[in-house]
Every structure is written in structure tokens, then in C-alpha cells.
Amino acid sequence: MRSAIAISLLLAAGSHGFAQCTNYTITVGGGIFDFEIDWELVDDQGIVVASGFAPTVTNVCLPDGCYTMLMYDTFGDGWNGASYAIRVLPANTLVASGTLSAGGFGSSQVDLGGGCSGSGNCDLYTLTVTSGIFPTEISWNLIGGATIVATGFAPSAQVLCLDTGCYVMQLFDSFGDGWNGATWTITSSGGTVMGTGTLAAGSIGQASVDLGSTVPCSGGGGPVTASDCPDAVNVCTDYSFQIDPNGEGALYEIPPLGSLGNPDFIPGDAILSPWGSDNWGCLRNDELNSTWMVVNIWGGGSLEFTFGGLGTQAGFYDWIMYPYGPNACSSILNNQVAPIRCNWNGVAFGGTGLAATPPPGGDASNFEPPLNVLAGEQYLICFSNWSSVTTLVPLEFGGTAIVSCDEVVLPLELISFDAVVEQQSIRLRWRTASEQDVARFRILRSSDAEHWEELGTQEAVGNSHGMLDYSYLDMDPLFGRQYYQLLMEDLDGIGELSEMRWVHWRVIGAMVHPNPATDELWVRTRGGAIQVHDQTGRTVPVTVKQSLEEMILLAFDLIPGVYFVTIEQGDDLTWQRFLVR
């Protein structure tokens, strides 16, 4: 059964290193079971600059920067009253403090000398969370944009260096009865209260905090809902959106579990997903409190993303991902398209998404393999809020792919592109008027203009101001109508698709195609009876896989060699030799 487990993780971002250092003391301890405790202080590169156990007092000399205190408990029940405190010497002024309220791991931002500012508009603020009656039930996050800038438990007092802008204070209570008298307060270095509040009831709440923003702040940071596929929100960069128990909208698009559009994956059954993972999936509760979004690819590469990373996940964040196009919503609704990735969360912490390696604090059961994408492609995601929580969800992208809504422009002018039927092949011809840093042309083919295969590549000249002619020969055409496109790529891997061209192909002259063959052979019959023989005259087994007009497609499993196909029409007998390789 699913259980909501919250583990907060913070990676400090944006430090400023200096040649000189400042002296600090780090004091850890004061709890009932200090022998369970160990800790590490790491810089913004993940390098450990101090570590130890408890109780301990450590003296360090550190440059200004943005650090993270990583807190561990071997028994997994928090620090049991112990805390850490960092003081600057010789004034002995407290600059950071905190504790691990519950669980085996936690972290918090440590700002030394204003090093956590990313824009230069950094001001010092103190974030204080009081105990209340039941402090062990309390946890919280302070979010700026799509990033957690502070996280912790109660009681807590942290000095933070924050940019101007809008922030969201997320409040959590593990028992679900509010904070029972505990409060949070953010004050400026001059003592001005910038925000304060409490969680009056329930398990989750949030409040907006305005730190000198030039635009009005709201608690959401994004659209509240996009519950139907046609209302999907365009995602062009890292993004935060609010979720709530909004239902499934006016349409119920997700097909039944176990169908083409919503396959049923079970871990440990020795059957992997088409993309190679062995996690739960897809949307086992179908569409629940959904949010739809379209991810826009500007630069090709390996796409990775995380919903609810860095300790922000507040419930089970299930999702399913499809290719996006003009008919995507209707295709999903009519169960005509399969997902390319999906995940039904195994745990309710650490984030979920696509990753070659789960991020710090993440669990492998929540992550699927990265997706190789091309510039100009779009992908549709249905995010399902299984836990019916109301919270802010940060979406962060990684990998080598670039997500942006900027227009994809390739430094190439394509003048013409056509496909011409020849006797045993189809010739593709195209002409460019200018090229700048163009790497190659990928030749794509489809039988239905939706599902494409790559036939091959043609290297480009690369740089030219004159007209250039290219051609490619498809020696193994599909019978009937087929479509072609060029994917034109530059040296950075950014690509652009040409317009489609289609031709209708049929065997002309020769009775069999292709020749040589491997496991399939088209034969022009004109209504006659067909047999296949080896070189000794022995009839070999074949299967009629498809019949189309005067052509049939034979399927076979023959050893390499020479064979003969014979067609008997009344008193007429014709034959054709072909090679199996």
C-alpha cells in the first residue's frame, strides 16, 4: 500500500568563492541519542568541507558561499532534540541552525556571507519556525520559482540570502491536524516582518511571500488546473504549477488500464516496459486530479525532467507521456496512441520523472529512462495528483536536450525536395541554396505519415552560398503509398523537418521484390497459384502474410541460398529466381 513518506533534500545553488576565508564554529548535538547522528557540510559543487558526529564542536575557515548541511540519523527517527548551529567568529553570531525532526536524512541551506544569491540582489532574511505543541509533525519548504531555497522542520531558525521576487512558503503536518500553535515568520535584516503565518488545519498549506517583487505575488506561481488535454499548458522552461483536487475536468481522456493508450506494467513480473524499465505503470487509477502540459523541444538530445524534486514532493505524482501533434488529444481519447513513458510512483518522496540516474534523495521506482528527442518535437504529459493534495509542484529539466518555445531556425535554405519512382527503387532528390554549419540530412519514411523510420543519412557539405544537389536511393520501397521527409541537422544537433512527399509504388517488370530478400518477398501473381522451391526442386514452406491488388507478400524462414518462385496460371508456368541472404 502506498504510504506518504516525505524526505526533504536541498542542493545549494549559486556560490561566490573568495580567496580569503572566515572562521566559524559548527556545534552539533544536545539530543537524547546523539550517537545516532552524523552530518556533512558541502559546498555548491558537492564537496564536503566539514563533517562529523555528535556531540561535537568543529572550527572551520570557509569562504563566502552557498552551502548545504546534510543531516543523517542511523536509527531513522530524527535527531531527538539535537540540533546544529553555525556561528561566525569572533562575534559568535548565529548564522544558521536546524535539526532533523524525523526520518534518516534531511538538509538545509547554509548561507555564509551572502553566497546564496544568484542575481546580485541578495538581502539577508531570517526564517523562524516555532515549535508549537507537536513540533515533530511539522516540516516546510520555501520555494522561489522552481527551486527550493530553504527546507526544514520545527523548531528552526535560518539566515538566508534571498533575491528580490515572489516566494511560496509550503507548510506540512504529518498528523494532518495543523501546526497546533507553531508559526513561521520571515524578517528582514532590519527587523521588518515580510511574511508570517501558520497551518490552521489539515496536512498541507501554502502562502505567498513578497520580497520586493515588481509584480504582484500569488500563492500559485502558475495555473491552478489544466484538467483537459485541449487546455494543456505550453512548457518552455523550468516551471512551477499548482495542483489541487480538481477532478478530471470535462473530458475523461485516459483509456482503461491495460489498453494501448494506458498499458499495465507490474514490477518483478519479468516483463519490461517498451523503454526498458521495471516500475509500476501506467496510470493505474486512470485520470485523477489531472494537469495537462505540452513540453516543447528546441534542441535535440537526451531529455530528463523531475516533478517535485529537492524535497518538494508532497504526495504520489503519477504521470503519462505521449507524442504531441494536432490530433494527439483525440487519439488519446480514442485509445489510438501508446505512451512513450509513464510512471505510477513507488514512493511519495524524492521526485519523479526521466533520469539516467535518480537525483539525490530520489528513488529508482519513480524514474524512467531519458528520452532521445529532436528539435521541434513536442510531448504531452498528463500529471495525476493521486494524493489529492494542494501544493506547488516544481518541474525542472535536465539532460542534453533544450526545452524552449523559441522558433527552431536552421541555417539552411531548402529550395526543392521530391520523390521519383524508378523501376526497382524510389529516388529522393533535394536542392539547397545556402548552408551554414549543416551536418547531415536524415531520410525518414512512413507508411501512414505518423510513424516514421530512419532509412539512412546523407552528409551535408556544411557551408555553402551556392546551390547544391543531393539524392538518396530507397532500394527497398514499401508496396503502395509511402511518405518521405528530410530531417536537416546542424553541427549542434538542432534539426528541422522538411515538408512531406509521398509516392505510390508497385513492382514494375520483375515478378519478385526485393531480390535479394531476407524473410519477406513481394510477388506479382496476377491470380496464379504460387510455390517456392529450393535448388533441388523441393517445395519449401512459406506463408502469405498480406494480399494487395495483384501482389502478395510471402513470409518465410529459409537458410541463405538460391530459391525459385513459380506461378501457375492454367497451362502457363512462369518462374523467377531469388536469393535469400
pLDDT tens digits, residue range 262-321?
A: 999 999 998 999 999 999 989 998 888 899 999 998 877 899 999 988 778 888 999 999
Name which of 339-348, 377-386, 496-505 the model is least confident about: 496-505
The pLDDT confidence band at residue 432, using thresholds 50, 70 and 90, is confident
Percent of the chain with pLDDT over 90: 31
Domain ranges of the chain: 22-211, 229-403, 412-505, 512-580
Q: Which residues contact 215 (CB under 8 A, 6 or more apart)?
A: 166
Q: What is the pLDDT of residue 17?
A: 38
CA 354 to chain CA mean position, Å: 4
> In whole angstroms, what is the distance from residue 64 CA to residue 20 CA?
9
The answer on pLDDT for 113 being more than 90 is no
Which residue from 479, 454, 482, 151 is spatially nearest to 314, judged by alpha carbons?
A: 151
The answer on pLDDT for 220 being more than 50 is no
Q: What is the pLDDT of residue 54?
A: 94
The pLDDT confidence band at residue 261, using thresholds 50, 70 and 90, is very high
Q: What is the pLDDT of residue 8?
A: 32
Amino acid (1-letter code) at residue 40: E
Name which of 10-19, 28-37, 254-263, 481-490 the model is least confident about: 10-19
346 vs 123, higher pLDDT: 346
Looking at residue 135, what DSSP letter applies? Answer: G
The answer on pLDDT for 11 being more than 60 is no
DSSP-assigned letters across all residues of 402-447 = EE--S----SEEEEEEEEEE-SS-EEEEEEEEEESSEEEEEEEEES
What is the second-level CATH architecture of the domain 512-580?
Answer: Sandwich (2.60)
**Gap between the terminal Cα atoms of the chain:** 54
Percent of the chain with pLDDT over 70: 87
What is the second-level CATH architecture of the domain 412-505?
Answer: Sandwich (2.60)
> In whole angstroms, what is the distance from residue 22 CA to residue 64 CA?
8
Q: What is the pLDDT of residue 411?
A: 62
The answer on pLDDT for 6 being more than 50 is no
The answer on pLDDT for 3 being more than 50 is no
Q: Are strands 233-235 and 290-299 parallel, antiparallel or unpaired?
A: parallel
pLDDT tens digits, residue range 50-90?
A: 999 999 999 999 998 888 888 888 887 889 888 898 999 98
Q: Ramachandran region of residue 537, left (φ > 0), alpha (ψ -120 to 50) or beta?
A: left
Q: Are strands 290-299 and 367-368 parallel, antiparallel or unpaired?
A: unpaired
Q: What is the pLDDT of residue 331?
A: 92
- The pTM for the full model equals 0.45
The pLDDT confidence band at residue 493, using thresholds 50, 70 and 90, is confident
Q: What is the pLDDT of residue 121?
A: 54
If you search the block for the grid coordinates 495525476, which residue do you land on? 384
Q: What is the pLDDT of residue 288?
A: 84
Q: What is the pLDDT of residue 567?
A: 80
The answer on pLDDT for 354 being more than 90 is yes
The contacts found for 479-483 with CB under 8 angstroms, 24 or more apart, are: 479/505, 479/506, 479/507, 479/522, 479/548, 479/551, 479/553, 480/447, 480/504, 480/505, 480/506, 480/548, 481/447, 482/426, 482/445, 482/446, 482/447, 483/445, 483/446, 483/447, 483/448, 483/449
> In whole angstroms, what is the distance from residue 414 CA to residue 428 CA?
14
pLDDT tens digits, residue range 391-425?
A: 888 899 999 888 987 765 556 778 889 998 876 78
- Do the domains 512-580 and 412-505 match in fold? yes
> In whole angstroms, what is the distance from residue 560 CA to residue 371 CA?
37
The pLDDT confidence band at residue 445, using thresholds 50, 70 and 90, is very high
